[in-house]
A and B are shown apart, each in its own frame.
Chain A
Amino acid sequence: MSMNELREGFFQECEDLLEALSDGMAVIDAGNADSDTLNAIFRAVHSIKGGAAAFGLEALVEFSHAFENVLDAARADRLTLQGEALALCFRAADRLADLVADARADQPSDSAASATLIAGLDRLLGAPSDAPPAAPAPPADEAVAPAFTPLSAPVSFDLPAKKGGAPAAAPDAAGGMSHYCIRFAPSRETYATGNEPALLFRALAAMGDLSVKADLSRVPPLLEMAWDEGYIIWNLTLHTRAGEDRLREVFDFVEGACNLDIRRLDAATLAGPQPGPAGAPGGTAADAAAAPAPATPSPAPDTVATDEPAARPGQGAPARATIRVDLERVDRLINLVGELVINQAMLSQSIDEANLPSGNGVDSAMGQLRQLSSELQERVMAIRAQPVKPLFQRMSRIVREAGHASAKLARLVTSGEATEVDKTVIERLADPLTHMIRNAIDHGLESPEARKQAGKPPEGIIRLSAGHRSGRVVIELSDDGAGINRARVHETAVARGLIAPEKDLSDEEIDNLLFMPGFSTSPEVSALSGRGVGMDVVKSEIQRLGGRVTLASMPGRGTTVTISLPLTLAVLEGMVVEVAGETLVVPTTALRETLKAAAADVQRIGAHGWFIAIRGGFVPIVDLGAELGFQPGPEGFVGRVLLLIESGSGRRAALAVDRVLDQREVVIKGLENNYGHVPGIAAATILGNGRIALIIDPDEISAAPAPGPGAAAPRPALATAAGA
């Protein structure tokens, strides 16, 4: 494994850790700050720090360290995360994510932003440590260099040079000095896994006063030396305020691959007000004498960090049962399994035709093979679909930042995070969603004062929800702000020459003006939104994904933007039915009930209008076979199976089918790429036998009960040629 791979592994782990952090923060924000949650987020930050130290990512180490101190205080009940403190932690979590991203991209980070937050975090831990937080650091730096000079070992570390740049020493804001003796004997594995002792030492040096001695006694004569064996034993002494757990975490990545012994000498005596720190009780380690006296005798009240019992090593990151796989591999697998299923079906058919004598075992083996391969197909196809949760989590950050920048109070409330959407779609939704949220906060929500005047709570609510509706993925973003100022929108549109001044527009038409290119209602361009890109960009981005955006607004009550995405590659629960010999899938999300039509309930109006009376209401009957052109119009519906569906807009219809075959999860395959839109059809899916079944679009089917609905439905691409 190369260093780069290890690094990449670390960053991938960081993604998970940041997600865990974000999860935990959300729980705390909801007011459920139990100790498990606090421990979880502490561990997340802690693990990031540990990894960062191993890779020499100092800015990250420094920041996560400061953050971790606050979380540590919180889990020890010395600090309550609410109000200001919680807001700061949220920003710190965001900043941490930035730092990770910067480190990953090898970009310099905005150190000013980190410094401000670190100062804020340190302040949370109380006034006593306000003044000297950075003081112990420089001596630590200097002490490292001389510690090496007496060594005759022909190795040199660039510790001082590296350390000089950043005042990274990230001291614990509080805490008594402790004295540690570390015996670190790297083995062959330590080096083989890409670890570099110098980096570990540098991380230790960042914690305090470090001296390093190489024990060369094990080094054999040159001729007997194995080139990849670790012979040198390092004896380190560290004088620090950090707890033992922090030390251990520096060695997180090498633990198990080396011989490590960390001993803590009596801290109280060493850090006490009496002079002579060298007088370690019992003289446990002669090495202690080598450590210089602490530069700043720590004030007595600083007992915060070290009083924590030394943490359990090896309990760093919770085990996660996930692996990361290249998307392309998954796609290839999906296609392969598709082939397998077809071949299995073909084989099965050939066996049927071969008329083998019964009881030969082939039948039962084939049955098992069929079951296995169809299950395999289902499982494999579900891999691509992922819950929208991480996307929504990212959005909570956008809400915080946008609220902060526009001086508005906003809170994100999410629902339906478990809704599964194709991974690619999730990725491409991030930008449009970000933009919409900024818009909602910048233009939608009122200032806290204005909200109070309007009788609303000062804090605005941004709701983000996801769900499968009518065979499409629907993502809704709503705010409880002032709603669209239609007069101003109209005025602006006229001023920009987008519409003629005398034109009379309905409310809906005015709302949709927001999607016109070059439209921005904000009188002055704000830092957040209104930078030339508007809702038109959002719209085109969503359309590129095959989706639709609609907007609804209530003056004084807020605005809702609805994104409806096709189910391409998403998974949906559907009822498999047969109509005129064709197999079709009706999304269960739209399905209300199945019934058999009784003679008394079926009514006819005009030549083609059939209705069924259901509990006092009349629902139009749509003969699926006729509607889709598979068979001529029906003679009657008595005795037929009817599926009562309800479209996204609340319209109901009863679909007449021949037979219900099955109810199962199907994977959606788009028709748009290779063919075009088919009226009444949302997408296609591939059944267990390799055949394609079409998925009904309940919206379109129920909207067009009579054949030939006209211009509203786009004609299929190829049909144009037929007409031509």
Chain B
Amino acid sequence: MTDAAEQHPVSRREIVSFRVANQDFCIDIGSVREIRGWTPTTVLPHAPPYVTGVMNLRGAVLPVVDLSARLGLGPTEPSPRHVIIIVMIEEMTAGLLVDAVSDILTVNGEEIKPTPDVAAGPAKTLVEGVLAIDERLIRLIDLGRVFPDHERGEP
């Protein structure tokens, strides 16, 4: 017991897992501000197809990203059963449209394996690593890449 604890002193992470287009994904819990039911968004002109629009979060205007569309898994037809995860990336707040939130998990850093080299396209770029829990494969999303603005900020 003690040995094990000493072996992995700092690598425990808490993650929020959720489902998008029948696949399991997760993000670090530290980035999650709150989870809300779907509310209709206002369409933004000239926005990329995966931005469903902007929503009102207690007076703040936030863009909502359809994660399924962003990952190249096809656009989501949002319904009241869908969920928006409000995330904070650096100074920016945004909503992620997902099918459902599944769980909050504590995992060891070592359990996160590099993304297998089979995927390509947006999914490959956005998935930072994968981990297997109870025979499910959970893909860890690199939030910084969901909003490329921040990549662009540091040329």
Residues of A near any B CB (own CB < 8 A): 334-339, 342, 582-583, 627-630, 669-671, 673-676, 678-681, 684, 686, 690-694, 715-722, 724
Nearest residue, chain A, Cβ from B65: A718
Please count the residue pairs between chain A and chain B whose beta carbons lie under 8 angstroms apart in the complex: 104
B35, chain A: closest CB distance, angstroms: 16
A sample of 11 more A-B contacts (CB under 8 A), given A335-B58, A674-B94, A684-B61, is: A334-B59, A337-B59, A338-B56, A628-B46, A674-B60, A674-B61, A676-B149, A686-B56, A694-B44, A720-B152, A724-B148
Shortest Cβ distance from residue B45 to the other chain A in the assembled complex, whole angstroms: 3
Set A670, A678, A715: member contacting B44, Cβ < 8 A: A678
- Which residues on the A side are within 8 Å of B58 (C-beta)? 335-336, 338-339
- For the complex of A and B, the 4 pairs showing the least CB-CB separation, nearest first, are A722-B48, A628-B45, A721-B148, A338-B59
A671 and B44 CA atoms in complex are apart in Å by: 10
Q: Mark B138-155, 1 if CB is under 8 A from A, else 0.
A: 000000000111001000
* Chain B contact patch, size range: 20 to 34
Q: Contact partner of A673 among B40, B51, B92, B147, CB < 8 A?
A: B92
From B53, B54, B59, B92, give the contact of A335 (CB < 8 A): B59
Docked Cα-Cα span, A279 to B14, in Å, equals 90
Measured CA separation A629–B43 after assembly (Å): 10
CB of B48 within 8 A of CB of A719, answer yes
Given contacts A582-B42, A680-B45, A681-B45, contact A720 B148 (CB under 8 A): yes
Contacts of A582 in B (CB 8 A): 42-43
B73 CB-CB contact with A under 8 Å: no
> How far, in angstroms, from A675 to B149 measured CA to CA in the complex?
8
**Interchain CA distance A716-B43 in the complex, whole Å:** 14
Instruction: Return A376 CB to nearest CB of chain B, in Å.
Output: 13
A334 CA to B48 CA in the complex, in Å? 31
Residue among A336, A673, A715, A721 facing the most chain B CB atoms (10 A cut-off): A721
Docked pose: A719 CA to B63 CA in angstroms: 13
Q: Is B131 an interface residue (CB 8 A)?
A: no
Q: Which residues of B contact A720 (CB under 8 A)?
A: 148-149, 152
Is the CB–CB distance between B56 and A675 below 8 Å? no
CB–CB B55/A719 < 8 A: no
A335: chain B residues at CB < 8 Å are 58-60
- Flag whether B62 is at the interface (Cβ < 8 A): yes
Known: A691-B40, A717-B149. A679 touches B61 (CB 8 A): no
Q: Name the contact of B46 in the complex, choosing from A686, A692, A716, A724 (C-beta under 8 A).
A: A716
Given contacts A335-B58, A686-B59, A718-B147, contact A693 B42 (CB under 8 A): yes
Instruction: From the candidates B50, B51, B60, B92, name the one contacting A669 in the complex (CB within 8 A).
Output: B60
Report whether B54 and A675 are in contact in the complex, using a CB–CB cutoff of 8 Å.
yes
Structural contact, A678 and B45, CB atoms closer than 8 A: yes
**B117 proximal to A (CB < 8 A):** no
A592 to chain B, nearest CB (A): 23
